[in-house]
Structure 1
Amino acid sequence: MKQSSDVTRVLIHGASGRMGQALLRLLATREDLRAVAAVSRSKPAQRVVDGLPYFAVTELHGVPAFDVAIDFSLPDGLEAILGLCVERGVPLVSGTTGLSASGERALDAAATTVPVLLAANFSLGVTVLGDLVERAARLLQTWDCDIVESHHKHKLDAPSGTALALGARAEQGGAQPSYASLRAGDIVGEHTVQFAGPGERIELVHRATSRDVFARGALHAAAWLAGQAPGRYQLRDMLR
């Protein structure tokens, strides 16, 4: 349980990845959040870096007390951090995409005990884009809907989790989206949702030029989720 304090203690799971590194860097600029442990897939080369203890995934149960965990790992790494959060009764914010049906069921089960927030994209702009996509789909029932996403060449899943999330919002509005994926260079993330009708089309576009956008959103979500009751949350719940 979270201690009565102005500072929320944060554990970063997936600390060696791009997002993990961005989260740790930006955490140092927050007065309301404090990193207490960093967990990576392999054994860390240094046990303590700038006063922060590092752990391997196999050492997860040895981490100090924390108030919320932020997970940006791989689908096969979610089970361990989810289990630890349930065991300790603390919330989990996760940006891990490509989860299997069993992974989704595990999140649902955990949400009966602790607050859980899973998002494919922690950009506040993308969250608003989802609302616009659903509204456009509802108003343009006979138009074609296509979603094109571009990411860096190292991204594994395609379509991206964000593209699928936007597609789900389009489906809620009555559209049947098609997808196209591009992997090139160091593109952080671009998503275009196009609605095309006879003689005209609408394009709704979001471009991220820095990974810090997603890290900031995840940190805001962690600070917010630490005060919520058990349940399954979405990023747009934070904006209401």
Structure 2
Amino acid sequence: MDKMRIALLGGAGRMGRAIKALADCQDFPPREDGAADVLIDFSSPEGTAEAAAYCQEHGIPLVTGTTGLDDDQQAAVREASRHVPIVQSGNMSLGIALLQRLVAEAARSLEGFDIEILETHHRYKKDSPSGTALLLGEAAARARGTALSEAARFERHGRDDERRAEEIGFAVRRGGGVYGEHDVSFLGEGETVSLSHTALGRDAFARGALAAARWVIGKEPGLYGMGAVLGLDPER
């Protein structure tokens, strides 16, 4: 397809403006005189649930990078994915998609190594830890046969108990204008392995979202991650 007809939800936000700078988009919902080939969503959890229902009703593929969905909102996305193809990811960077795969491989291979995740973002970011940090934690937890909800540890202040071998620790920094830095460390008794990604601008996420939009058009209904866009994983 030479030119996509893109509807954009969240166009006034930072990510929405970055996508608009790279592609011709119409605001959501699509104008009556031009149906959309795909809807890209960077809005709010409530907006994502609305977008999923709209896409299900109108048969439009969805690409969403919105984070912080509660169980009901995520259920709406999953229900819509039974009818239309959806790419959902807390980070649309192609580099992060590859990093997820590398983190999973390291978690499987480095048995007995402790896993710690450090993320840094600009002072305006609201959710913590970032959706990307949680994606990386989920990749590590799945690789070790556990759920992140069981392994994650978000707070150590004031605790005097020892680290559980199976836990995945998270640390968060907020400040300045940092677009996004993520470091996953595997700490052994005699060595440490670190995998990291640094976003140099929002263009990385916007280009990934547009790549996902091109990829998802014509796909079978299902809930896909960015790994599928890279050909790494078939579905979420």
Task: Tell me if TM exceeds 0.5.
Answer: yes
* Alignment correspondent of 2:143: 173
TM-score with structure 1 setting the length: 0.83
Matches within 5 A, 1:18-167: 18-27=14-23, 34-35=24-25, 37-39=26-28, 60=29, 64-167=34-137
* Alignment correspondent of 1:42: none
Q: Which amino acid aligns with 2:123?
A: K
Corresponding pairs, count: 209
TM-score with structure 2 setting the length: 0.85
> Are residue 12 (structure 1) and residue 3 (structure 2) matched?
no
Q: Distance in 2 between matches of 1:237 and 1:77?
A: 24
Q: 1:184-204, CA deviations, whole angstroms, 9 ceiling, x for partnerless residues?
A: 011000000001011211111
Q: 1:27-71, CA deviations, whole angstroms, 9 ceiling, x for partnerless residues?
A: 1xxxxxx42x124xxxxxxxxxxxxxxxxxxxx476541110000
Confirm or deny: 8 A CA contact 1:95 1:122 kept in the other structure: yes
Sequence identity of aligned pairs in percent? 43
The alignment yields a C-alpha RMSD, in angstroms, of 1.4
TM-superposed CA distance for 1:101, in Å, is: 1.1
Q: Which amino acid aligns with 1:107?
A: V
Q: 1:166-221, CA deviations, whole angstroms, 9 ceiling, x for partnerless residues?
A: 00111122163110111101100000000101121111110001100000000010
Q: 1:87-107, CA deviations, whole angstroms, 9 ceiling, x for partnerless residues?
A: 111100000001111111111
* Alignment correspondent of 1:44: none
> Are residue 195 (structure 1) and residue 191 (structure 2) matched?
no
> Are residue 234 (structure 1) and residue 204 (structure 2) matched?
no
TM-superposed CA distance for 1:6, in Å, is: 3.6
List runs of 5+ in structure 1 lacking aligned partners: 28-33, 40-59
Confirm or deny: 8 A CA contact 2:45 2:67 kept in the other structure: yes
DSSP 3-state at the match of 1:108? helix
DSSP 3-state at the match of 2:112? coil
List runs of 5+ in structure 2 lacking aligned partners: 145-165, 232-236
Correspondent of 1:223 among 200, 208, 214: 214
The structure with higher relative contact order (CA 8 Å, sep 6+) is 2
TM-superposed CA distance for 1:76, in Å, is: 1.6
* Alignment correspondent of 1:30: none
Q: Distance in 2 between matches of 1:214 and 1:96?
A: 12
The structure-2 alpha-carbon separation of the partners of 1:96 and 1:20, relative to structure 1 and needing over 3 Å to count, comes to: same
Confirm or deny: 8 A CA contact 2:85 2:223 kept in the other structure: yes
> Are residue 211 (structure 1) and residue 206 (structure 2) matched?
no
Confirm or deny: 8 A CA contact 1:170 1:176 kept in the other structure: no
Q: Distance in 2 between matches of 1:232 and 1:173?
A: 20
| Higher strand content, 1 or 2 | 1
The structure-2 alpha-carbon separation of the partners of 1:216 and 1:167, relative to structure 1 and needing over 3 Å to count, comes to: same
Q: 1:121-160, CA deviations, whole angstroms, 9 ceiling, x for partnerless residues?
A: 1111111111111111111121110000000111111010
Q: Distance in 2 between matches of 1:62 and 1:109?
A: 25
Q: Distance in 1 between matches of 2:60 and 2:46?
A: 20
Correspondent of 2:175 among 177, 184, 191: 184
